[in-house]
Structure 1
Amino acid sequence: MSKPRKEIHLAAHFPGVNNTTVWSDPEAGSHIEFESFRHFAQTAERAKFDFLFLAEGLRLREQGGQIYDLDVVGRPDTFAVLAALSGVTERLGLAGTINSTFNEPFEVARQFATLDHLSAGRAAWNVVTSWDAFTGENFRRGGFLAEADRYARAERFMRAAWTLFDSWRGDEIVADKASGQFLATPRPGQFTVKDDHFDITGHFPVPRSPQGRPVIFQAGDSDEGREFAAATADAIFSRHGTLEAGQAFYADVKGRLARYGRTPESLKVLPAATFVLGDTDADAREKAAIVRRQQVSGQTAIKLLEQVWNRDLSSYDPDGPLPEVDPQVSADHIARGRASVRMNRDPLAVAKQWRELAVAKGLSIRDLMIEVSARQTFVGSPSTVAQSIDDLVQADASDGFILVPHITPGGLDAFADTVVPLLQERGAFRTEYRGSTLREHLGLSAAR
């Protein structure tokens, strides 16, 4: 018996401040003006996407004691942007990244419950933790938590928020003296949370929202992160977008669900994906090569190399060879607030690997940085990209993709106009929304 055909889930990630965004293109626009957010969101909704996704950075990144040159356009508040977008969209889900290390459950629960009401059931929360003291300096608590402690706090934070969301009682029947009728009135209930991380009690001020609880996203890739997702998340934001890596990740996280009494359908796996479209596959490959060089300028190449070498390399020629000097291994790092620093935990091994690659392919510093950092998941004509997406989803490498265009705000337009209709013709993607809430878009059951 053949396996039932899966329906693809698609979402759009508003490009943040990073070196994947092409700033030099004449079509590039603002990352903070509301018109950019409106255009992007309405394009995603026109294409019948599940949701729009906003990342968040809690501190501007630094390198060599100066603000990183790709981090100066501003980072507006997530809730303010999503609340505004709820007024110019009708069905599109609204997903925001909110940190569990430095925030408090009461405040975050109140904000998400409010957003879910304002949007009529379209709110989602990407729960993240913070790993560095540099970010913590913006907050009264300061400092940072060890990885295991971060996820322990995140799980307690999540369950505290759930307690608040669920604290309102079911409708209470009350007699209305004026009309003589009996009316159903929701009533706030008492909540109490006491554990190693939180000690709060009171009455939650926001009634139970249309979804009951927002859809929960998680993006951690460590073993602790995967386990946290299996226990608590509705969807996981993955970085494994290729067939073999995607299938391995998919099988791993789905295989953890049974121990929490969950079915494979209760957790959606959605890798981030970039794309470059052309009239033909050859045309798209030519465009992709141009985009990669736009994404990694000579200046950016040196900055990226410094994040591994942990040295000032500004005197080096980006079109020249890699430095002969080895990376400097130190707890005090030249780049602060950059996830790539954390991911390159063995800089000497990375340097050795990169040197071998540069020699084998005759790569300059800039060429190497393009090779190792600039990736496009889908490159081809609309028909090629549509087939690639469908093949990966049907092969259980993912349940869909969160698309990250390299141009803001119009980078999603061509995908919506050319690839989406082909996926719809295949019967792999909806032609109309069948529900009004994000849970319905994702095929998730009501919040427990």
Structure 2
Amino acid sequence: MSKPLKQIHLAAHFPGVNNTTVWSDPRAGSHIEFSSFAHFARTAERAKFDFLFLAEGLRLREQGGQIYDLDVVGRPDTFTVLAALAAVTERLGLTGTISSTFNEPYEVARQFASLDHLSDGRSAWNVVTSWDAFTGENFRRGGFLPQEERYSRAKEFLATANELFDSWHGDEIVADQATGAFLRDAKAGSFVHTGQHFDIHGQFDVPRSPQGRPVIFQAGDSEEGREFAASSADAVFSRYASLKEGQAFYTDVKNRLAKYGRSHRDLLILPAATFVLGDTDAEAEELAKEVRRQQVSGATAIKHLEFVWNRDLSAYDPEGPLPDIDPDVSADHISKGRAQVRMYRDPLATAREWRELAAANNWSIRDLVINTGNRQTFVGSPATVARTINDFVQADASDGFILVPHLTPAGLDPFADQVVPLLQEQGVFRTEYEGTTLRDHLGLAHPDDVRRERAAS
């Protein structure tokens, strides 16, 4: 007997600060004006996506002491944007990245519980730790926490927030339909938490929200991150978009669930994915090459090379050869607040490898950056892309994808109009929302139902 087809989960990432967005395209819109967020969200909801996702930038990036101005400067506050989007959408989930390193549990729990009420149960929290001292200067003396302490704080942060969410028990709260007042016992909302990182007690002032708790997302790929996801998350963002790597990550994380009393259906694996569509596969391949060249201008290529060389390379021609000088490994890094700083652990070895690649392929600096950077995940005709996405999900390389278009706000529209209908025809993606909350969309149980089930067993 054949295995039933898995249903695909799809989400949309409004990119923000990144190396994906093509700013030179005349169709590129503002990342500050609300109309851009509204268009993007409405497209995702029209296509029956599970949720919209916002990342979080907590400091403007710098390079060589100057604001890094090759991508968007500034980003509106996550909660403000999501609350506004709750008013212009009805079913789409609203996911925000909020750091556990630079916030406090009471504040974050209150904000997410409020968002869940405002959206009728559509909120989700991507729990992250913040690693660099540069960003940390905005928040704390000393800048940052060591990795082991960041994850320790994150685990306790989430556990404390859950205590706050659960301080109002669904079984004990009844609203008076005439007055709207909550009839409850005196302990509802009371909390006491004493731990390594937090020592708080008081009264949580937001009643139990429609989902009980926001859906929890996690993005770390380290050993600590995988364990954190298996123990506490509802969904995990994977960076593995190839079939083989995706299957390995999927199997590893899902197999960790049992020791926490959880099943495979309790955690979704959702890689980020970029795409380029064309009328034919060949046309899409040509378009993808052009998009890559638009994403990596000459100035961007030089800046990217400076991540590795840790030197001012502004005098070099991006269409010329790589520098013959070696990276500077002795000084403070030229780039501040960028994840790329961590990507190249051995700059001297990376420089040697890149020189060999450039010589073998006759690549300029710009050619090298284009060809060694991230390529689009899905490239082809709508039929090819729909088939490939379905193949990944049915092969347990993921449970779906978080799509990151290279144009905002309208870059999601072609996927919604051309690929989604094909997935619907295959019977692997919804044609209508069947529930109202994000937990409904993702097939996740309500925390109150889980609590009752455990109490009865």
**Which TM-score applies when normalising by structure 1?**
0.96
- Give 2:123's aligned residue: 123
Number of the residue aligned with 1:269: 269
Instruction: Give runs of aligned pairs for residues 416-427 of structure 1, distance below 5 A.
Output: 416-427=416-427
Contact 1:49/1:92 (8 A) holds in 2:
yes
CA distance in 2 between partners of 1:153 and 1:350 (Å)? 34
1:183-332 equivalences under 5 Å are 185-186=183-184, 188-330=188-330, 332=332
Alignment partners' CA distance in 2, 1:304 and 1:80: 32
C-alpha deviation, 1:55, in angstroms: 0.3
Matched with 2:105 is: 105
Q: Which residue of 2 aligns with 1:162?
A: 162
Displacement after TM superposition at 1:116 (Å): 0.3
* Post-superposition CA distance 1:27-69 (Å, at most 9, x none): 1110010000000000000000000000001100000000111
How far apart are the structure 1 equivalents of 2:121 and 2:330?
A: 47
Alignment of 1:117-156 (within 5 A): 117-156=117-156
* 1:143 Cα offset (Å): 1.9
Alignment of 1:1-16 (within 5 A): 1-16=1-16
Deviation at 1:85, TM superposition (A): 0.1
Shift in Å, 1:174: 8.8
Aligned AA for 2:286? E
Conserved in 2, the CA contact under 8 Å of 1:219 and 1:236?
Answer: yes
What's the offset of the Cα at 1:20?
1.0
Task: Render the CA deviation track for 1:368-423: whole Å, top value 9, x for unaligned.
Answer: 10012241000000000000000011011100000000001000000000000000
1:277 Cα deviation from its structure 2 partner: 0.4
State the one-letter code of the partner of 1:253. Answer: V
- How far residue 292 of structure 1 moved from its aligned partner, in angstroms, is 0.4
Aligned AA (1:367):
D
SS of the equivalent of 1:56 reads coil
| Superposition deviation, residue 146 in structure 1 | 1.3
Partners in 2 of 1:439 and 1:300 — Cα distance? 40
- Of 45-54 and 248-257, deviating more is 248-257
Supply the distance in 1 between the matched residues of 2:38 and 2:72 (Cα, whole angstroms): 21
CA shift at 1:346, angstroms? 1.8
**Partners of 1:331 and 1:203 in 2: CA distance:** 49
SS in structure 2 of the partner of residue 445 of structure 1: coil
Inter-CA distance 293–171: structure 2 relative to 1 (3 Å threshold): same
1:281–1:58 distance in 2 versus 1, CA, 3 Å: same
Residue number in structure 2 paired with 1:376: 376
**1:325-344 deviation per Cα after TM superposition (whole angstroms, max 9, x unaligned):** 11111461100000011122
Report the CA distance between 1:348 and its aligned residue.
1.8
How far residue 173 of structure 1 moved from its aligned partner, in angstroms, is 7.9
Check whether the contact 2:164–2:189 (CA below 8 A) recurs between aligned residues.
no
- Whether the aligned pair in 2 keeps the contact of 1:284 and 1:379 (CA below 8 Å) is yes
1:172: Cα distance to partner? Answer: 4.8
Secondary structure of 2:292's partner?
helix
1:412 counterpart residue number: 412
Alignment check: 8 A CA contact 2:174 2:184 kept: no
Are the equivalent residues in 2 in contact too, given 1:169–1:186 (CA < 8 A)?
no
Residue identity opposite 1:156 in structure 2: E
- More deviation in 319-328 or 429-438? 319-328
Counterpart residue identity of residue 22, structure 1: V
What is the CA distance between 1:17 and its match in structure 2? 1.9
SS at match of 2:193: strand
Supply the distance in 2 between the matched residues of 1:389 and 1:333 (Cα, whole angstroms). Answer: 39
Aligned-pair identity (%): 75
Quote how far apart the aligned CAs of 1:141 are: 4.6
User: In the TM superposition, what is the alpha-carbon distance from 1:349 to its structure 2 partner?
Assistant: 2.1
Equivalent pair of 1:101/1:129 in contact (CA under 8 Å): yes
Q: Matched residues in 2 for 1:175 and 1:186: separation? A: 9
1:141–1:202 CA distance, 2 compared to 1 (3 A) = farther
Residue type of the alignment partner of 2:126: N
Q: What is the alpha-carbon distance in structure 2 between the residues aligned to residue 419 and residue 170 of structure 1?
A: 40
Q: Which runs of 5+ in 1 are unaligned?
A: none
Evaluate the alpha carbon distance shift between residue 163 and residue 358 of structure 1 in structure 2; reply closer, same or farther with a 3 A threshold. Answer: same
Query: Displacement, 1:308?
Result: 1.1
Following TM superposition, by how much is the alpha carbon of 1:184 offset from its aligned partner in structure 2, in angstroms? Answer: 6.7
- C-alpha displacement at 1:153, in angstroms? 0.6
Q: What does residue 442 of structure 1 align with?
A: 442
Stretches of structure 2 that go unaligned for 5 or more consecutive residues are 451-457
After TM superposition, the structure 1 stretch with the greater mean CA deviation from structure 2, 369-378 or 140-149, is: 140-149
2:241 & 2:144 partners in 1: Cα distance?
A: 30
Give the residue type in structure 1 aligned to 2:300.
T
Counterpart residue number, 1:33: 33
**TM-score, with normalisation over the residues of structure 2?**
0.94
Q: For residue 271 of structure 1, give the secondary structure of its aligned residue in structure 2.
A: strand
Instruction: Label 1:173 to 1:28 Cα distance change in 2 as closer, same or farther (>3 A).
Output: closer
Counterpart CA distance in 1 for 2:50 and 2:169 is 30
Aligned length: 444
